[in-house]
Each structure stands twice: as C-alpha cells, then as structure tokens.
Amino acid sequence: MSAEDGSPLARRPRDRSAPRRSGQFEYPTYDYVTPAEQRAGRIGRHPVVVVGGGLAGLTAATDLGVRGVPCVLLDDNNTVSAGSRSIGQAKRSLEIWDRLGCGDRMLAMGRSWSKGNILRGDKLLFAFGLSPEGERKFPAFLTLPQYYIETFLAQRCAAFPQIELRWLNRVVGASQTDDHVRLDIETPDGVYGIEADWVIAADGVRSTMRRCLDVPFEGRGFVDRFVIADVKVSTSFPPQRMFWFEPRFIDSRLALLHQQPEGIWRVDWQLNPEEDAEEAADPEKARARLAKVFGPEVDFEIQEISVYTFDVRRVPAFRQGRVMFAGDAAHQLSPFGGGRGGNSGVQDIDNLVWKLALVLDGKAPDTLLDSYNAERVPVADENMALSYRSAEFITPTSAPSAALRDAVLRLAPAVPFARSFINTGRLSVAATLRASPLVTPDADEWAGPLAPGDAPADGPVRTATGDADWLVRNLTGGFTLMLHVERETEMAEAVGTALAALADDPVPVATLILVSAQGERPGDATLADETGQLRRLYDLTPGACVLFRPDQHIAARWRAFDIEAVRGAVRRACGESVT
Amino acid sequence: MTSLSTDLNLSAPDDIYTALLDLVDGRDDQTAAAAFAAVALVLANHVGDDAVVADAIALVRHAFDDGGPPEGGRIFVKQALDRFFAQHPETGMSGVAA
C-alpha cells in the first residue's frame, strides 16, 4: 500500500502556505506538562510505560486504558505523525480500534475502496474486488491517514484517568534488571528517570529502545527509491486503487494513486536511478514536476512530499526481558507490502496488551508474555517474505527477474491465470495463530473457513432490544463464550447455571447466546443470527460453542458445551501448561 | 483431447514465481534464459499433447505481439483516469469529477 515509514532520504514538510494542516486536518498541539516525578525530584515506578506515540503506541495506551491498567506513554513530539505515512487501515485494525471505542469515528471519516485496478500504460491488466465473505461492519480497507487515527486514539485516552500521555518526553537511556526497566527521559525541564515493570517499545523504525538495549535489527535494505506525495487536488476520481506499471502521465516505471478524505490524493512513484533525492523532494521542483502530471486545468497543492528507500528487518525476539517490542520498532516492512506495516503493529498490540494485563493482575504467569513472541514473530516473518516478493515483482533486481515479470505483464490482459502472478502487494488480512501453543486443537469435526487461532469472522446480528448490530463488536475484551441454540428457551437450565459459574471464575468468561431468531422475551446477552451467516461461517450446530480470547481470536470450539473443557482452554490460553 | 487451460490451476502462484526466481538466482542472463526455456521444454513434454503445446505457443506469440510496453506519448493523469473509466464501464464509474 503506501509508505509507512521507510527510511526517508529527503523529507519536506507541508507547503509553507498551509502550515500545520493537511486538507481540513489541523495538527493538534499537545500540552507539555512537567512530569510529577521530575518536579518532585524522585524516581517514579509505573506498571507499564509505552515508548512512542505512533499508531502502535497510542493503540497500546488506549487498550491499557480500556483494560483498566495504569500506563505512562512517552512521546518525543507534541503532535501526531505528519502526513505521508500509513493510510490503508485494514479491517482487522478497524475491528481492534472499534473494541477500543474509536471504530465508528474512523468509519465515518475514512474512504473505503472495494476495487483495485492494475494497468500497464493505458491497458488494464487486472481488476480485483475486495468482496467480503458476507456482510460485516468494516470494509477490507479504509483509506484514512495515520494522523486522524492517532488523533482519535489520543482523544480516547483522555477518557481514562490512569493513562498519562507525556508529550516532549524523549527517551535517552534504557537498561533493565530482572525486576524492572529503568528509563532516562529528556524533557524541556532536563533529564529525569523512571522505572517500569514492563515497557512496550513502540518507538518506530529508528527505535531508541532498540539502540539502548543493543538489540539487533536484522534483514536487508532495498536500493530503489520512491517518492510519496500527499497532494490536495481540485478534482476527484472514483474510489478505486489505481496502480500503473509504466504510467503515461509521469516519467517513472510505476505509480500508485489512492484517494484520501478531503480531496487529498496519495501519489507514489518510483524515482529513476539518475534522479537526485534531494532535488525530487524540493518543493519548487516537485511542484514543477507535478504540474506536468496534473496539467493546467487542475489546481493542486502539495501537502507533504518525501523520498524514501525501505528496509525489511526485524528484531530477533519481540520480548527482550521486560521490554516488548512492537510495530516498526520490532519489524520494518516494504511500503508496497499491502498495508502490512501499520496494520501489523496494531495487531502486535492487540496480541500483547491483554496478556500484559493478566500478568500484572497476577492471573497468568509471566511466561504468557513469551507467547507474544511465539505468536507474532511468525506473522512478521510471513509479512517480511511477502514484502520481499512484492518488492521483487515491483522493482526486479536482475535481468532474468525483469524478464519473468515481463512475461506475466504481457500475458495478463488476455490470459486469466497470469493475473494471479501480478504482485503489487498482497493486501493485509488478519493473521492466523493456528500453530500457537495457546490454542486448543479441535477434538470434534468442523467445516467452514475458520479454525482455532483465527481472528473472528464478523456478521450481522439482531440484539435483544431489536437493534441491528455486529458480532465482533460484542466480543468486548475478556474471554467470551459464544453458545448457539435455535431458541433461547431450548437452553438447558444446567447450562445456564454453568455459564453463570464461568462468569465468576478468576479469569471470567462472558457468555453470548447466539440464537437463530429472537424469542419473545430475549435475555440481554442474546444475539440473533437472522441471516444465518454466522452459523455458516462458524459451522454452528445447536449446542456448539466457540471460545474467543480477549483479543477476539478463536481459542477453542466444541460441538457441545462442557464447563471443564472451557476452563481448560482458558487456562491454556493464559499460558498455563496443559497436562 | 483436452484444450489449453488458461484459468488458474495452481494453489500457490507466488510460490511458483519465487521458485522460478530461485532457479535463475546468480546465473548470467543467457544461462537464466536457457533455464526458463528448459522449464518450458520439461512442461511441454509432461503435457504430452502436441496440439495443446502448439496452442500454448500460439497464445504466447499473440500476447507478445499485442502486450508489450505501452505506446503513445505523455498525457495528464486526468486523461489517463478518464480514459480508463470510459473504457471500463464495468467499473460503474464515469470518470474523474470536474
């Protein structure tokens, strides 16, 4: 998709004529407040410190807020990320932010696209649809710039008194013992120290935490350079993703167009080898170049332009003692990887925070945090492999590789199978954790697309009060057991008693009764699958139940309810060894 | 007698693409071209049907006569978009808004 972070070679801020804004968006300025312990001249101790206030860091702070865990977030700036960053928000990220209470605002503000077109010059090679499997609340992708997401999350954090966002707090030193992490932080008032039980290091590609703790960042760099520009344009085009090989409107081997909210176009193109990066990002030269792209009839204004290369790297282990690396600090991906950079960072956090909350609460052993590594490293590796592949297709590194790609591009217009080889980034989909040790393998026979370890499938439901709603929105952050019965009246009394007992367990399990249609006096926790979509996707027969983890992934499922089986699966998902 | 199949028959096309790249990795251009051609010969023999192989060759000949790099001069992006959406009414879009 579009550039996440990359390694900017040259970056110019928005036009001087339009300072501190992108389209209608005004960059917020967050107040710096002298931290309490700095003022008091003592060392504070906090259960969780989040380093970095980008997509991953702010998602972490909000998730900790929702879960009632106190947290201090440190950011070296006092506003949100300036333009030219992540714009493609995947369905799974949107579901996560919906759980945190921000989904509706994002949906209202973003632009969804459901079709992508890949062209060579004027010729259409391949048009693809992002057709969902059934109905669901969020589209496969929503175009909404990172600065909106971060603003919404920062606003949401204000609802939680135990969450403290500290702006203009830059980490300059970090070390750890078995017992805690020590951070040295520079503010406008000087340097102060704090201690943390746990640190989430979400401080980006050039992570200070990585450097201070001497954690390697392994992988390789790519030499191709790309220009990424956010341009306010006086016209609009249909909400489709446009990718050109050998575009006719710009002197480049490829170009990519997305339409963002408020009339801003994201334009990416590859810099030719002989071009100078500084020159390409120079506002006047860029303006002259884009004037030839847009022509005299179209008004445009450059909001942000940068030239970057990218690396594909990761840290060897995401858990380093008491420090959990997440997002770009943990793994860097190709900007053409299908929107995997920002979105995989959000999924890192979704995977990590509930585990941290249980460990802090004394309800799970701290080895549960090793599963963060076990579950997210394979996902990062898959994303890296996909990054390598799409990068090689988009910018072949040898003559034979270019020849193979040329074969695909020549065949594609007329030969259907060849289109499947066109790889301009395999779009981010929710990671599956099927091989995770936390997942209870099936003991029964199941059909359908889902398996334990998968992210939830969404679908429409009717609530007890008769409102239209969605399933995933009702998986609210703890363990949830979804039990299917045709009618609520058909549920055995003993089952009801057992479900009530589960809700009182040390790690409580909430219950959601999925009926085929609402009865006359439905219970509060009853949802009706009127369309049958959920029964089909989850392969539900009467009496079947599905256990969702606090991050909504499927932990286990059974054809029939058994309270001890549910308790065993919860213990397993909480990292207790299974006998 | 089977006819040439042009729909996708592979379960993991990206893996095949990567395997082909691995085959030529580190080889000089001529040897790499020969390696790709060798794969074509092996697969032609496996197909074992002269007519199908001939159809495949004809298909490639046609695609290569027709599907080369784009021609024509420089145009503005609005023209490119307008032209695209006009040529593809199946997209349900009429083009760039004024």
DSSP A541-570: -TT-EEEEPTTS-EEEEESS--HHHHHHHH
User: A 271-300 residues with CB below 8 A of B?
Assistant: 292-295, 297-298
Q: Is the minimum CB–CB distance between A413 and chain B shorter than 8 Å?
A: yes
Question: What pTM does this model have?
Answer: 0.91
pLDDT at A4: 37
Q: Which residues of A301-327 are buried (b: 16+ CB within 10 A; e: fewer)?
A: bbbbbbbbbbbbbbbeebbbebbbbbb
Question: Nearest CA to CA, how far is B55 from chain A (Å)?
Answer: 13
Token pair for A259:
């339409």
Find the mean pLDDT for residues B14-25.
96
Cα–chain-centroid distance for residue A459? Answer: 21
What is the spatial distance between Cα B83 and Cα A289, in angstroms, rounded to a whole number? Answer: 22
Pair A117, B83: CB distance under 8 Å: no
Q: Does A415 touch chain B (CB under 8 A)?
A: yes
What integer pLDDT is reported at residue A324 of this predicted model? 98
The token duo for A512 is: 């959601």
Chain A hits for B81, CB-CB cut-off 8 Å, are 237, 242
Compare all CA atoms of chain B with the CA of A256 and give the residue at the minimum distance: B77
Interface A:B, Cβ pairs < 8 A:
144
Q: Tell me how close the Cα of A386 comes to any Cα of chain B, in angstroms.
A: 9
Alpha-carbon distance A69 to A290, whole Å?
A: 48
Q: What is the ipTM metric for this complex?
A: 0.92
Residue B79: burial class (beta carbons within 10 Å; 0-12, 13-18, 19+): middle
Q: pLDDT in tens for each of the 579 residues of chain A? A: 233 344 555 544 433 333 466 777 888 999 999 999 999 999 999 999 999 999 999 999 999 999 999 999 999 999 888 766 788 899 999 999 999 999 999 999 998 877 889 999 988 898 887 766 679 999 888 989 899 999 999 999 999 999 999 999 999 999 999 999 999 999 999 999 999 999 999 999 999 999 999 999 999 888 889 998 989 988 877 778 899 999 999 989 999 998 888 888 889 999 988 888 888 888 888 888 899 999 888 899 998 888 888 889 999 999 999 999 999 999 998 776 677 888 999 999 999 999 999 999 999 999 999 999 999 999 999 999 888 898 899 999 999 999 999 999 999 988 999 999 999 888 777 788 999 999 999 999 999 999 999 999 999 999 999 999 999 999 988 999 999 998 888 788 888 899 999 999 999 999 999 999 888 777 777 999 999 999 999 999 999 999 999 999 999 999 999 999 999 999 999 998 644
List beta partners, residue A320.
A323
Give the 3-state secondary structure of A463-509: CCCCCEEECHHHCCCCEEEEEECCCHHHCCHHHHHHHHHHHCCCCCE
A127 interfaces chain B, CB cutoff of 8 Å: yes
d(CA A55, CA B89): 38
State how far the Cα of A469 lies from the Cα of A529, in Å rounded to an integer: 10
Instruction: Give the mean model confidence (pLDDT) for residues B19-31.
Output: 96
pLDDT at A278: 85
> Rounded to an integer, what distance in angstroms lies between the CA atom of residue A561 and that of residue A502?
12
Q: How far apart are CA B14 and CA A426, in angstroms?
A: 10
* CA separation for the pair A178, A390 (Å, rounded): 41
pLDDT at res. A427:
77
Q: Are strands A264-270 and A141-143 parallel, antiparallel or unpaired?
A: unpaired
Q: Which residues pair with A479 in a beta bridge?
A: A509
Phi, psi of A257, rounded to the nearest 5 degrees: -125, 135
Q: Evaluate whether A312 touches A187 at the Cβ level (below 8 Å).
A: no
Q: In whole angstroms, what is the distance from residue A384 CA to residue A408 CA?
A: 23
Q: Give how far the C-alpha of residue A48 lies from the chain's centroid of Cα atoms, to the nearest Å.
A: 21
Strand order in the sheet with A88-90: A88-90, A141-143, A111-112
Measured CA to CA, the distance from residue A179 to residue A162 in angstroms comes to 22
Contact A180, A366 (CB under 8 A): no
At A187, is the secondary structure helix, strand, or coil?
strand
Strand order through the sheet with A226-233: A7-12, A300-309, A226-233, A264-270, A254-259, A240-245, A115-120, A123-129
Q: How far is CA A448 from the centre of its chain?
A: 26
Q: Is residue A409 within 8 Å of residue A119, measured between CB atoms? A: no
Which of B7, B77, B90 has the most A C-beta neighbours within 10 Å, making it the best mutation to test the interface with A? B77
* Chain B residue with Cα closest to A387: B14
